[in-house]
């Protein structure tokens, strides 16, 4: 009997020990789980904080890159604007130079005058002449479409203007005003008033010999637009450095079927002779 009691006591002690172990294990497991859960949240928060910090660093770097790119764009835009201004100034200078060189090359102007036919009024006995006028370049080629005029009479007058600038511009080799400018003004006959004559150079436009093609530049306009009124305006002439605007004329009795060469010379004379 005592042996049996000892066995029961031993078994009971064993069971209590096992139960205690189970309880301790459960408590430990619960504690570990709780600890892990708590720390996991902390770890997750730290990871997210690090990710945010890394993202902020990258965002700051991107912003710096954007700021740097924006600053570079502003600088390049400023340089482009400056270059555009320089190019515009250079283009104006080139245009001015080209026009000036064109003016210097024209030291006289040549035209061809052809008498196509002549008729005589039997009542009055007066003649009229149909003439064709066309300006020529240095190679003798027409600069424009030939124009025809019915002139009262058989003596044809070619009227022109010569514009000369102050001597100081010639001495300074001024490209703008270092040469005279020659303009064909009008064509008329001996039985016709000069004011009723036919205009040759278009009023306010660059004469064909001086034109470089296309629309006139501002510089060309400043040269040619005022010549028609400047002869009677001393102040305007002085502003442009013009010394004189002279009327020059030449004339010749023409015959049907004949062609004549008209020259407006740099020395201020008009000569007309058989071609």
Lowest-confidence pick of 14-18, 23-27, 181-185, 245-249:
23-27
Burial class for 98, CB neighbours closer than 10 Å (0-12, 13-18, 19+): middle
pLDDT tens profile 53-64: 777 878 778 788
Query: Quick one: pLDDT band at residue 253, thresholds 50, 70, 90?
Result: very high
The helix (H) or strand (E) run that includes residue 64 is: helix 2-105
pLDDT at 259: 97
Q: How far apart are CA 109 and CA 143, in angstroms?
A: 11
pLDDT tens profile 94-116: 665 665 555 555 557 889 999 99
CA gyration radius, the chain: 51
Q: How far apart are CA 188 and CA 159, in angstroms?
A: 8
pLDDT at 208: 77
pLDDT tens profile 224-252: 676 667 767 778 777 777 777 778 889 99
Alpha-carbon distance values, 207 to 26, 104, 136, 227, 243 (Å): 114, 14, 12, 12, 20
Q: What is the pTM of this model?
A: 0.56
Q: How far apart are CA 133 and CA 98, in angstroms?
A: 28
pLDDT tens profile 37-92: 655 566 666 777 777 777 787 877 878 887 887 888 888 888 888 888 888 777 76
Sorted by sequence, the CB contacts under 8 Å of residue 151 that are 6+ apart come out as 128, 129, 130, 131, 187, 188, 189, 192
In contact, 263 and 126? CB cutoff 8 Å:
no
């Amino acid at each position: 009997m005592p042996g049996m009691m000892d066995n029961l006591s031993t078994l009971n002690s064993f069971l209590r020990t096992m139960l205690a172990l189970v309880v301790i294990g459960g408590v430990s497991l619960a504690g570990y789980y709780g600890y892990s859960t708590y720390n996991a949240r902390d770890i997750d928060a730290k990871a997210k904080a690090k990710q945010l910090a890394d993202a902020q660093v990258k965002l700051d770097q991107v912003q710096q890159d954007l700021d740097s790119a924006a600053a570079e764009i502003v600088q390049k835009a400023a340089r482009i604007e400056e270059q555009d201004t320089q190019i515009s100034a250079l283009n104006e200078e080139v245009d001015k130079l080209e026009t000036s060189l064109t003016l210097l090359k024209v030291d006289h102007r040549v035209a061809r005058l052809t008498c196509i036919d002549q008729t005589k009024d039997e009542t009055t006995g007066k003649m009229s002449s149909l003439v064709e006028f066309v300006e020529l370049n240095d190679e003798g080629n027409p600069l424009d479409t030939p124009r025809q005029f019915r002139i009262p009479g058989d003596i044809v007058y070619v009227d022109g203007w010569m514009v000369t600038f102050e001597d100081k511009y010639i001495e300074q080799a001024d490209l703008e005003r270092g040469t005279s400018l020659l303009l064909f003004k009008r064509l008329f006959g001996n039985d016709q008033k000069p004011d009723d004559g036919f205009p040759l150079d278009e009023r306010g436009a660059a004469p064909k010999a001086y034109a470089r093609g296309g629309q006139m530049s501002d510089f060309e306009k400043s040269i040619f637009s005022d010549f028609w009124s400047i002869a009677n305006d001393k102040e305007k002439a002085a502003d442009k450095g013009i010394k004189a605007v002279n009327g020059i004329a030449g004339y010749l009795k023409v015959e049907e079927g004949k062609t004549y060469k008209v020259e407006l010379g740099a020395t201020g004379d008009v000569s007309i002779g058989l071609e």
